[in-house]
Amino acid sequence: MNHYDVNPDIVLEQLKRQFDGQKPEVILADVLARFKGRITFATSFGAEDQVLTDMAVKTDPSVSIFTIDTGRLPEETFEIMSRSQAHYGIQIDQYSPDYREVEAMVNTFGPNLFYDGIEQRKQCCQVRKVSVLRRVLLGHTAWICGLRKEQSITRQGIEMVQWDEQFGLFKICPLAEWSEQQVWDYIRRHQVPYHSLHDKGYPSIGCGPCTRAVEPGQDIRSGRWWWEEPEHKECGLHWATTTAH
Ligand code: SF4
Task: In the chain, count H helices and then E strands.
Answer: 9, 6
124, 145, 210, 235: the catalytic one is 235
With respect to residue 196, please indicate whether it lies within any of the assigned structural domains: yes
Can you tell me the mean pLDDT for 207-214?
A: 94
209 C-beta closer than 6 A to ligand 1: yes
- Predicted TM-score (pTM) of this structure: 0.91
pLDDT at 96 over 90: yes
226 band by pLDDT with thresholds 50, 70 and 90: confident
Structural domain of 171: 8-242
Atom 1 of ligand 1, residue of closest alpha carbon? 207
Q: Indicate if 173 belongs to the active site.
A: no
The pLDDT value recorded for residue 161 is 96
With respect to residue 57, please indicate whether it lies within any of the assigned structural domains: yes
Residue 220: CATH number of its domain: 3.40.50.620
With respect to residue 3, please indicate whether it lies within any of the assigned structural domains: no
129 C-beta closer than 6 A to ligand 1: yes
The pLDDT value recorded for residue 151 is 80
The region, left, alpha or beta by phi > 0 then psi within -120 to 50, assigned to residue 169 is beta
With respect to residue 39, please indicate whether it lies within any of the assigned structural domains: yes
Overall domain count for the chain: 1
With respect to residue 236, please indicate whether it lies within any of the assigned structural domains: yes
224 C-beta closer than 6 A to ligand 1: no
Largest alpha-carbon pair distance within the chain?
50
Q: How far is the CA of 186 from the centre of ligand 1 (A)?
A: 29
How many percent of the chain have pLDDT more than 70? 91
245 band by pLDDT with thresholds 50, 70 and 90: very low
With respect to residue 156, please indicate whether it lies within any of the assigned structural domains: yes
Best mutation site among 67, 109, 114 for ligand 1, i.e. most ligand atoms within 8 A of its Cβ? Answer: 114
The alpha carbon of residue 9 and the mean position of all alpha carbons in its chain are separated, in whole angstroms, by: 23
The pLDDT value recorded for residue 208 is 96
72 C-beta closer than 6 A to ligand 1: yes
Q: Which atom of ligand 1 is found nearest the CA of 121? A: 7
Which H/E stretch holds residue 156? none
70 C-beta closer than 6 A to ligand 1: yes
How many percent of the chain have pLDDT more than 90? 79
With respect to residue 1, please indicate whether it lies within any of the assigned structural domains: no
Can you tell me the mean pLDDT for 120-149?
A: 97
Question: How big is the CA angle at 86 (ends 83 and 89), to the nearest 5 degrees?
Answer: 140
Q: How far is the CA of 28 from the centre of ligand 1 (A)?
A: 29
Best mutation site among 44, 95, 128 for ligand 1, i.e. most ligand atoms within 8 A of its Cβ? Answer: 128
For the ranges 27-41, 44-58, 200-214, 215-229, the lowest mean pLDDT is seen at 215-229
With respect to residue 66, please indicate whether it lies within any of the assigned structural domains: yes
The pLDDT value recorded for residue 5 is 61
Query: What three-state secondary structure class fits 194?
Result: coil
pLDDT at 243 over 60: no
